[in-house]
Amino acid sequence: MNSNAIDTLSSPLKLRCGLVLPNRLVKAPMAENMAIPSEDNLPNDKHLAVYRAWSEGEYGMLITGNVEVDPRYLGIPGDISVLPSALDTPLALSRWTAWATAAQASGTPTIVQLNHPGRQSHPFSGTRSFFSKNIAPSALPLEFPGSCVDRLAGKIILGTPKAMTVAEIDTLVDQFTLAAKLSKAAGFKGVQIHAAHGYLLTQFLSPKINRRADAFGGSAAARLSLLLRIIASVRAATSKEFCIAIKLNSADFATMGLEEEEVLHQVEEISKAGVDLIEISGGTYEKPLMGASREGPAPPRQSTVAREAYFAAFAAKARVAAGKDVAIMLSGGFRSRLGMAGTITDGSCDLIGLARPTCLEPQLPKSKLLAKEVTDEDAVVKSFKIVGGWWMKWVPVVGLRAETAWHEGQIKRIAAGKEPDGDLALGLGGLM
């Protein structure tokens, strides 16, 4: 027998910009690693195929995987990136337009996640030379947790970044703005500005990483100024109807040297800046909560609601700080219809972000979560187990990347017209 959970999840939501989402389930961003460096990291047929599959799943919204605003600095080699000449390059604009069309083929509004990895840019990614340094607010390297293998890998692979000049910060604002203009021109309904998971904008927000003494550091207001400037520039270059979302870290802010009070103040100021949606997620390379695996479905009991959502307690506080006009999306840990609906009805959030479950069940809302013929007891996400991945717990950062690659493999299977493989084995050979 079904509860009223379906009614909760299937109710539409109108964002401040006027965009109407048909329901509360959002396909959240994930690493895809499908762009081809020799083709300027443009969207390709694989992106079209997988987003067309997701578009048929009856999500309330799709948010794309990472699109890097500077082609010199990518998180991974297969990230989509934005060429400086993209708006004036017919091939680039046509590829982006085809991508937007495929993603919204069934009427699902789609927004593009825009990012710059900063000091987390992989040296084998992007158009910069191998020996050039990453960039960051200050010249501070990552401090990887875990084993000596993790720490050594971090030092060798990422190294110590160089502090950005003011001119480089000005260029960064222009890059985010250009990417938003390209997204709008292609037909996407908005963008999500990535300020979580330890990437560059997160680095500026963090007093632990941002040691600057100029207009972009030294105080809470100064550390937030870059993000607010990007929001204003994107809004001015697009329209009031264009959705602007922000992705923020949640209860793991202490690892970034932040107090909860400052993070909630950031939420309040970002809301005042005129954004439409704030996604609460969590984790950094130094404390990778966002990649923690949770194998198997959660039991569909009301008692699971609190523990299904990783960051629900902080999201409830952010909900208050943001005010009633800004939607809060919560991502991470959801495994059952009842858990998702319960988090909305208790006021913690307005939207549910679903990421890794969509790799195994690309049409999850249509086939299960919103399907009236599926009982609450059966409306849970598909179980998975990474066979042979036992070694990951001994090398957590390397293991996290391997687990991410496993999910990327599922996305590529969908793009190839194949069924996801929930029993795919991943041993040491799975890294090759």
Question: What is the structure's pLDDT at 167?
Answer: 98
Q: What mean pLDDT do residues 260-267 have? A: 92
Q: Is the pLDDT of residue 309 over 80?
A: no
What percent of the chain stands above pLDDT 70? 81
The answer to whether 247 touches 289, Cβ cutoff 8 Å, is no
pLDDT tens digit sequence for 29-47: 999 999 999 999 999 999 9
Task: Tell me the pLDDT band of 14, cut-offs 50, 70 and 90.
Answer: very high
Task: Tell me the pLDDT band of 123, cut-offs 50, 70 and 90.
Answer: confident
Q: Is the pLDDT of residue 281 over 60?
A: yes
Window from 196-200, 249-253, 281-285, 424-428 with minimum mean pLDDT = 424-428
Q: Is the pLDDT of residue 304 over 70?
A: no
Q: Is the pLDDT of residue 112 over 90?
A: yes
Amino acid identity, position 418? K
Neighbouring residues of 233: CB distance < 8 A, sequence distance ≥ 6:
173, 174, 176, 177
User: Cα separation of 329 and 177, whole Å?
Assistant: 23
Q: How many CA atoms lie within 13 A of 77 on its CB side?
A: 8
Q: Give the tokens for residue 226.
A: 């870059």
Q: What mean pLDDT do residues 163-192 have? A: 98
User: Cα separation of 28 and 356, whole Å?
Assistant: 9
Q: Which residue has the tokens 């048909």?
A: 22
Residue 77 C-alpha from the chain's centroid: 17
Strands 20-21 and 13-14: antiparallel
Task: Tell me the pLDDT band of 2, cut-offs 50, 70 and 90.
Answer: low
Neighbouring residues of 4: CB distance < 8 A, sequence distance ≥ 6:
341
Selection from 132, 29, 135, 38 nearest residue 77 by Cα? 38
Q: Is the pLDDT of residue 366 over 70?
A: yes
Give burial (CB, 10 Å; 0-12/13-18/19+) of 56: middle
Q: Which residue has the tokens 């222009």?
A: 174
Q: Is the pLDDT of residue 257 over 70?
A: yes
Q: What is the mean pLDDT of the chain?
A: 87
| DSSP letter for each residue of 230-249 | HHHHHHHHS-TTSEEEEEEE
Neighbouring residues of 401: CB distance < 8 A, sequence distance ≥ 6:
none
Q: Is the pLDDT of residue 130 over 60?
A: yes
Which run of H or E residues covers position 284? none
Question: What is the structure's pLDDT at 372?
Answer: 96
Task: Tell me the pLDDT band of 289, cut-offs 50, 70 and 90.
Answer: very low
Q: What mean pLDDT do residues 216-230 have? A: 97
Q: What mean pLDDT do residues 48-75 have? A: 98
CATH class of the structural domain 5-380: alpha beta
How many of the other CB atoms lie within 10 Å of CB of 254? 12
Q: Is the pLDDT of residue 291 over 50?
A: no
| CA separation, residue 34 to residues 47, 212, 218, 234 (Å) | 7, 36, 39, 27
Q: Where are the domains of the chain?
A: 5-380
Maximum Cα–Cα distance across the chain: 61
The answer to whether 308 touches 333, Cβ cutoff 8 Å, is yes
Task: Tell me the pLDDT band of 295, cut-offs 50, 70 and 90.
Answer: very low
How many of the other CB atoms lie within 10 Å of CB of 46? 18
Question: What is the structure's pLDDT at 311?
Answer: 81
Question: What is the structure's pLDDT at 124?
Answer: 83
Question: What is the structure's pLDDT at 392?
Answer: 52
Q: What mean pLDDT do residues 286-305 have? A: 43
User: Cα separation of 170 and 68, whole Å?
Assistant: 16
